[in-house]
Structure 1
Amino acid sequence: MAQTVLHTAASRGVADHGWLKSHHTFSFSSYFNPERVQFGALRVLNDDEVAGGRGFGEHPHDNMEIISIALEGTLQHNDSMGNSANIETGEIQVMSAGTGIYHTEYNKNAAEPVKFLQIWVFPNKRNVEPRYDQVKIESPAQPNQLVQILSPNPEDAGVWIYQDAWFNLGKLEKGSTVDYAIHQKNNGAYIFVIAGKVEVNGQLLDTRDGYGIWDTDGFTITADADAEVLIMDVPMNL
């Protein structure tokens, strides 16, 4: 029988630093909940809003797969690997921190906030050479389809990471239904509703709610309103 966990938007940890407003689905920084440390290999899911012209100064990471998905605005990235890039709305960025990197992230626009999802996934291979990648998320050929934006395979659509994880993004019209098959045994899926309302196997989810499901082969998503959803398919046993 499928196991599930519901994390409503209002139950998330909150940090307000003035220039940064962040909601933490899982324990992060000063927010700690022993029941919400991770979902399998998914360690961090932060819903960040950075004020115009502000950002994160140089800071280190190691042995973590770090994914950013831009929702509104432009995020300016610089790192110790020599990469300098703008992450635009509708793009996904990944860094394999591996043996260690330093980077900065700033809002390129001085007048408007930038909104993005910051996601950390535990790698299945430690101390790799750090790497960076960034791609535009392609629109599906047909409406109400899921688009793969991340996988373990460099040849596949989207970016890739050092983990048996698959991310899919879907923009669904009200009344539409999509079926999702979990990629491999011992993986689970964490569904995050970016916008709108959906039902997952009958469980109603509103904007910014998260829902984890495992010990199952798959599930069905039905859009109760026009919606955008992110599905993160990750190993449950590390």
Structure 2
Amino acid sequence: MTQTVNMASDLTLRPAEARGVADHGWLKSAHSFSFANYYDAKHMHYGPLRVINDDWIDAGGGFPMHPHDNYEIFSYVVEGQLEHKDSMGNGSVVSAGGVQYMSAGTGVRHSEFNPSETSPVRLLQIWLLPNIQDEAPRYNAVEISAQDKDGTLALFLSSDGRGDSLHIKADSDIYAATLVQGQTIETKLGHDRIAWVQMVKGHVTVNGQTLRHGDGLAIGRGGQIVFENGRDAEFIYFDMAK
């Protein structure tokens, strides 16, 4: 007897070219959700996901000290290096493959700069709405090796801090993966959950939907999720509470 596989469905593509764009000279950014001067009432957030900005920062450029509160914020560095400093006294430089995470809580000021004098940095800056507010702010960083995410979902931020992941104050488990032709990743999304796939680079197929560099995919109904047909693909996968 052939067993029917219940595939996750209710797929909504967010094409890369439909994102909002900003060009400040030293910063070029594409916004998946409404941000700063880009406003689209149909794309304010998805579940707890509030911001996905695909940023290119020129050599020596960056964001000076500015405040945040009650957001879970992380920067996923794709190319180059990113330097973080904050009002808690933290300071670090994260290279490609690294993630800077900050829980803004009751309030924190921070800066992010490209420390290179010659090369740009590319990062995805991502904000999530917390499920716990007004706690003390904190900062941490994690490295995701190429081997860790090769053909598999590497958990790096989670709601419970399991494994080597960082514990975040959002009901979200966040993974990184790379995929090439011949590799397949399968995972299951709970029926009380939603998911988002954000393409970092390359091409991949998710439950029959082709995604390309910069595309996002909302998955609104639980079940099996299959990632396949990767062509130099790298993506971030969010498993989130509705």
Q: TM-score, normalised by structure 1?
A: 0.94
Q: Which region of structure 1 is more displaced relative to structure 2, 32-41 or 168-177?
A: 168-177
1:191: how far off? 0.5
After superposition, the Cα gap between the structure-2 partners of 1:221 and 1:142, relative to the gap in structure 1 and judged at 3 Å, is: closer
Aligned to 1:195: 201
Aligned to 1:8: 15
The aligned amino acid for 1:55 is G
1:15: how far off? 0.3
Residue ranges of structure 1 left out of the alignment (5+ in a row)? none
Match of 1:20 among 24, 27, 32: 27
Identity of aligned residues (%): 39
Match of 1:227 among 216, 233, 236: 233
Query: Does the 8 Å CA contact 2:194/2:240 hold for their aligned counterparts?
Result: yes
1:176: how far off? 1.9
Aligned to 2:52: 45
The aligned amino acid for 1:54 is G
Aligned to 2:182: 175
Distance 1:73 1:138 in 2: 15
After superposition, the Cα gap between the structure-2 partners of 1:55 and 1:4, relative to the gap in structure 1 and judged at 3 Å, is: same
Give the length in aligned residue pairs.
Answer: 235
Aligned to 1:204: 210
After superposition, the Cα gap between the structure-2 partners of 1:163 and 1:72, relative to the gap in structure 1 and judged at 3 Å, is: same
Query: Does the 8 Å CA contact 2:97/2:146 hold for their aligned counterparts?
Result: no
- What SS is found at the alignment partner of 1:196? strand
Distance 2:149 2:55 in 1: 30
CA displacement 1:100-144 (0-9 Å, x = unmatched): 000011100011111101000000000010000101113446941
Distance 1:2 1:124 in 2: 26
After superposition, the Cα gap between the structure-2 partners of 1:142 and 1:170, relative to the gap in structure 1 and judged at 3 Å, is: closer
Aligned to 2:61: 54
1:90-129 alignment runs, 5 A limit: 90-129=97-136
- What SS is found at the alignment partner of 1:225? strand
Note if 1:152 corresponds to 2:152: no
CA displacement 1:66-108 (0-9 Å, x = unmatched): 0111111111111000001111111111111000000011100
Distance 1:140 1:189 in 2: 24
After superposition, the Cα gap between the structure-2 partners of 1:203 and 1:180, relative to the gap in structure 1 and judged at 3 Å, is: same
CA displacement 1:172-226 (0-9 Å, x = unmatched): 11132111222x4422110011111111111111111110102212311112422
1:152: how far off? 1.3
Distance 2:24 2:203 in 1: 29
Query: Does the 8 Å CA contact 1:138/1:147 hold for their aligned counterparts?
Result: no
The aligned amino acid for 2:231 is A
Distance 2:163 2:203 in 1: 29
